[in-house]
């Protein structure tokens, strides 16, 4: 059974949870660093001297949409015919090295794009 605290019984507002550990970021700082400069939440927290959790809370408070962690593959920008021609010339390993991706990633990308 939960005990009723004196302040709650007296009708006073009670703060719950752990107090914040750093200063709350301002909306201007968040817009400049997170939106305009496209920095990560951790980078913004490091620059402002606060925690990443405080940055997330401030993003929610100011209704700034958080970016997803998913990044699109660079391979999508290369036409399929060019990829296939490069593979014929250099092979799958050589093409993957030239593009800076793993050969299994290149194989999977080709499989998905060709619709097999």
| Boundaries of domain holding 109 | 74-114
Q: What is the pLDDT of residue 4?
A: 63
CA distance 105 to 93: 11
Flag residues of the chain having pLDDT under 70: 1-4, 20, 116
User: For residue 68, which phi and psi values (nearest 5 degrees)?
Assistant: -80, 165
Same domain, 78 and 59: no
100 domain-assigned:
yes
Same domain, 80 and 59: no
Q: What is the pLDDT of residue 88?
A: 95
Same domain, 63 and 31: yes
Same domain, 46 and 79: no
Same domain, 90 and 55: no
Same domain, 109 and 89: yes
Same domain, 62 and 40: yes
- Helix intervals (H) in the chain: 6-9, 27-30, 41-48, 52-61, 80-99, 103-114
Q: What does DSSP assign to residue 108?
A: H
Q: Report how many domains make up the chain.
A: 2
Q: What is the pLDDT of residue 1?
A: 47
């Amino acid at each position: 059974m939960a005990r009723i605290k004196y302040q709650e019984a007296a009708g006073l507002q009670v703060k719950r949870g752990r107090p914040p550990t750093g200063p709350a970021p301002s909306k201007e700082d968040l817009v400049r660093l997170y939106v305009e400069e496209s920095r990560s939440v951790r980078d913004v927290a490091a620059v402002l001297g606060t925690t990443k959790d405080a940055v997330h809370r401030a993003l929610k408070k100011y209704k700034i949409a958080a970016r997803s962690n998913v990044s699109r593959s660079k391979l999508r920008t290369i036409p399929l015919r060019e990829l296939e021609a490069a593979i014929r010339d250099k092979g799958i390993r050589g093409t993957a090295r030239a593009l800076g991706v793993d050969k299994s990633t290149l194989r999977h990308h080709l499989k998905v794009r060709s619709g097999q």
